[in-house]
Amino acid sequence: MRKTIAAGNWKMNLDFDEGRQLFHALTKLGHDDKATEVILAPPAPYLSLLGYTNTSSVHFAAQNCHHEDAGAYTGEWSARMLASLNIKHCIVGHSERRAQYGETNKQIAQKTQQCYAHGIRPILCCGETLAEREAGDHFNIVTEQINAVLKTIEAKQIRTLIIAYEPVWAIGTGVTASAAQAQEMHSFIRKSIASSYDRELAEQVHILYGGSVKPDNAKELFSLPDVDGGLVGGASLDYESFKGIIEAAI
Ligand code: PEP
């Protein structure tokens, strides 16, 4: 039985006090961590400062890590460094990183390997642009993005992979994929993993939906058979709206 995950990606938003208040308020919700996992991805400078401990009911993710272990990469941080802060999750391949920083599938695969090398569970983002969907290429694009990573990691690592399907046209736009579109892609991803590996392994992979998730659409999305929760941007910045999304995940 897969847990439902409500993951909030703050991106480059909230000052430190705003972030701290939001984090502490969310830890008081008292959700059952065994059934629902709440993850926050604050800006990197806050990761060691927000008072996070591994016993907290709210877990932390980094929004990114470098594809190398260490070196002369000014302004970057590695999975090894995240592990030294006890961070257990890391988003890799967010569409904003792909589009704004030119991250390639190869680098994203290397980042994923770095995460596994340091005991960090990757949240691998994938998703097509509007033009790619309109051209009927969405299944090919997502397959390419996921397979570039899967072929570089071991089957036992895939069991703990979190995939976030985030159609680019739905991110920050207020346009959400319909329940049918989300289920169609999530089921496609799970079936592809089952056919490359096996059904039992595919059933363990978490597949989150991302793209304008809000309290009023979260329940419908999270109740779909292959949607295991959400990766949430804008709506994770406000206590009431992220609380509503966490409640939809319970
Ligand atoms: C995201 O950037 O991962 C995201 C899903 O953003 P939003 O919820 O704002 O669409």
Q: Model confidence over 90-149: pLDDT tens digits?
A: 999 999 999 999 999 999 999 999 999 999 999 999 999 999 999 999 999 999 999 999
What percent of the chain lies above the pLDDT cut of 90?
94
Identify whether 94 is a catalytic site residue.
Answer: yes
Of 159, 140, 244, 147, give the one whose Cα is nearest residue 200. 159
Enter the pTM of the model.
0.97
Q: Going by CA atoms, what residue is nearest to atom 2 of ligand 1?
A: 233
User: What are the tokens at 22?
Assistant: 């939001």
More confident residue, 149 or 32: 149
Mutation pick for ligand 1 pocket among 9, 64, 98, 165 (CB with most ligand atoms within 8 Å):
9
Identify whether 247 is a catalytic site residue.
Answer: no
More confident residue, 32 or 25: 25
Banded model confidence at residue 4, pLDDT cuts 50, 70, 90: very high
Spatial neighbors of 15 by CB under 8 A, at least 6 apart, are: none
* Lowest-pLDDT range of 172-176, 204-208, 221-225: 172-176
Per the prediction, the chain carries an average pLDDT of 96
Give per-residue burial for 126-144: e unless 16+ CB within 10 Å, then b.
Answer: bbbbeebbeeeebbebbee
Select which of 31, 94, 118, 206 is catalytic.
94
User: What are the tokens at 139?
Assistant: 């299944």
Of 183, 179, 191, give the one whose Cα is nearest residue 217. 179
pLDDT value at residue 105: 98
Spacing, Cα 101 to ligand 1 middle (Å): 17
Q: Going by CA atoms, what residue is nearest to atom 4 of ligand 1?
A: 233
Instruction: Give per-residue pLDDT as tens, 193-216.
Output: 999 999 999 999 999 999 999 999
Indicate the DSSP class of residue 88: -
Which alpha helices (H) appear in the chain, and where do they start and end?
Answer: 16-27, 79-84, 95-101, 105-117, 130-134, 138-150, 155-158, 179-196, 199-202, 215-222, 239-249
Residue located via tokens 């009431």: 240
pLDDT value at residue 25: 95
Q: Are the CB atoms for 118 and 84 separated by under 8 Å? A: no
Ligand 1 binding pocket (C-beta < 6 A) is 9, 166, 171-172, 210-213, 231-235
Spacing, Cα 11 to ligand 1 middle (Å): 9
Indicate the DSSP class of residue 50: S
User: What are the tokens at 154?
Assistant: 């071991």
DSSP H or E run through 154: none
pLDDT value at residue 82: 97
Mutation pick for ligand 1 pocket among 212, 214, 238 (CB with most ligand atoms within 8 Å):
212
Q: Of ligand 1's atoms, which has the minimum distance to the CA of residue 96?
A: 2
Instruction: Indicate if the pLDDT at residue 230 is higher than 80.
Output: yes
Q: Are the CB atoms for 230 and 208 separated by under 8 Å? A: yes
Spacing, Cα 229 to ligand 1 middle (Å): 13
User: What are the tokens at 151?
Assistant: 């072929």
* Lowest-pLDDT range of 9-13, 29-33, 117-121, 197-201: 29-33
What SS3 state is found at 234? Answer: helix
Instruction: Give the mean model confidence (pLDDT) for residues 145-155.
Output: 98
More confident residue, 221 or 33: 221
Q: Going by CA atoms, what residue is nearest to atom 6 of ligand 1?
A: 233
Instruction: Give the mean model confidence (pLDDT) for residues 214-242.
Output: 98
Q: Going by CA atoms, what residue is nearest to atom 3 of ligand 1?
A: 233
pLDDT value at residue 32: 87
pLDDT value at residue 78: 98
pLDDT value at residue 120: 98
Q: Going by CA atoms, what residue is nearest to atom 8 of ligand 1?
A: 233
Spacing, Cα 217 to ligand 1 middle (Å): 14
